Amino acid sequence: MLSEILTEELNRPVPETARAFANEICRRHGSAVAAVLFYGSCLRKQTTEGVLDFYVLVDSYRAVFASPLFAVLNAILPPNVFYLEVQIGQQTVRGKYAVISMPAFAHAASLRSLYAIIWGRFCQPTLLVYSRDEACRTTVVGAFVEAALTMATRMTALLPARFQTAELWQRGFQETYRTELRAEKPDTIQAIYEAAPERYDRVAEEALHELERRGKLSFCASESGQAGEWQVSLLSRERRWLQWDWKMRRPLAKGRYAVWLLKSALTFGDWLPYVLWKIGRHAGVALKPTERQRRHPFLLGGPAILKLLVQRNLR
């Protein structure tokens, strides 16, 4: 069963680094935190080099933010994103976390959602680092099931009737990345699938079984006998509707993402050390903000970044 596969995956042992971040996030936001998810390239590559990625699911935005403006912006256009550094021994580990309410997350994972970023990300391997209680855990698993079903539903409509599992995932990652105003290289998309091909094959097959149980499609192994190749039947009108629906949603999702980026420029918490770290990483120099720059990032940090760019330290 799909839910059993995803439950087992979410409940895998958590690296101490990720747990340290979850502890700091819970310290910052208290009992409003319902769950913390660890996902992304650092999880996939099992490294702390770069920036670790987390999603924080909360009960309400007003309980999280002292600023009513931040709460309203998070409700209108989730998530709000924050940068965080955690000292682990002698190492400074960097991460960012996105805040979204539990109901908004569950909706964003569904077929009704305009926000492809959620179902595109969370049909991928993820760890449930923290869950407040069993009810939160159950809600998270349900959202992950819907994310996998959404990916399978949308991609079966875009692919030919006969396709391989790898094609479903790679087309899915390609489509969802495009809604983020970026076109990942084919080898990058391929690498996501190839990091755990057996896992993706199992999830795709169970998702197709679940969609068949729900009466959405029928499928069987391809007559070619090739492992991981499926013959999927959708009603013609269902296929046409899903294709039209995605054609309409894709530009809307891009527009939503563009507006979200503008909002993030205002709400990205403690963004200056993150930007300076990124610049320093490309320039080959260590850049750290002063305490005054962190207190007044737009007034003092902006000119510092501009000076670095003018001096062409960023290559």
Compute the distance between CA of residue 219 and CA of residue 233 in angstroms, rounded to an integer. 6
Question: Are 144 and 137 in contact, with CB atoms under 8 Å apart?
Answer: no
Q: What is the 3-state secondary structure (H, E, C) of 219-242?
A: EEECCCCCCCEEEEECCHHHHHHH
Compute the distance between CA of residue 140 and CA of residue 135 in angstroms, rounded to an integer. 9
Instruction: Kindly report the backbone phi and psi dihedral angles of residue 229, in degrees, each rounded to the nearest multiple of 5, phi listed first.
Output: -110, 135
What is the full DSSP assignment across 246-311?
HHHHHHHHHHHHHHHHHHHHHH-BTHHHHHHHHHHHHHTS-----HHHHHSIIIIIHHHHHHHHHT
pLDDT in tens, 169-215: 999 999 998 887 665 677 888 899 999 999 999 999 999 999 999 99
Q: Tokens in use for 248?
A: 């309409």
What pLDDT, on the 0 to 100 scale, is given for residue 312?
A: 47
What pLDDT, on the 0 to 100 scale, is given for residue 315?
A: 41
Question: What residue segments make up the domains of the chain, in order of their start?
Answer: 2-269, 270-315
Instruction: Kindly report the backbone phi and psi dihedral angles of residue 139, in degrees, each rounded to the nearest multiple of 5, phi listed first.
Output: -65, -40
What pLDDT, on the 0 to 100 scale, is given for residue 311?
A: 54
Angle at 27 between CA 26 and CA 28, to 5 degrees: 90
> What is the value of pTM for the model shown?
0.85
Could you tell me how far CA 90 lies from the centroid of its own chain?
29
Residues of the chain under the 50 pLDDT cut: 282, 299-300, 312-315
Q: SS3 of 39, please?
A: strand
What pLDDT, on the 0 to 100 scale, is given for residue 290?
A: 64
Compute the distance between CA of residue 135 and CA of residue 216 in angstroms, rounded to an integer. 28
Instruction: Kindly report the backbone phi and psi dihedral angles of residue 170, in degrees, each rounded to the nearest multiple of 5, phi listed first.
Output: -70, -35
Rg of the chain (C-alpha set): 21
Domain 2-269, CATH homologous superfamily name and number: Beta Polymerase, domain 2 (3.30.460.10)
Q: SS3 of 214, please?
A: coil
Starting at the edge strand found earlier in the chain, the sheet holding 33-39 runs: 80-88, 91-101, 51-58, 33-39, 127-131
Closest alpha carbon to 125 in 211, 220, 195: 195
Compute the distance between CA of residue 16 and CA of residue 10 in angstroms, rounded to an integer. 16
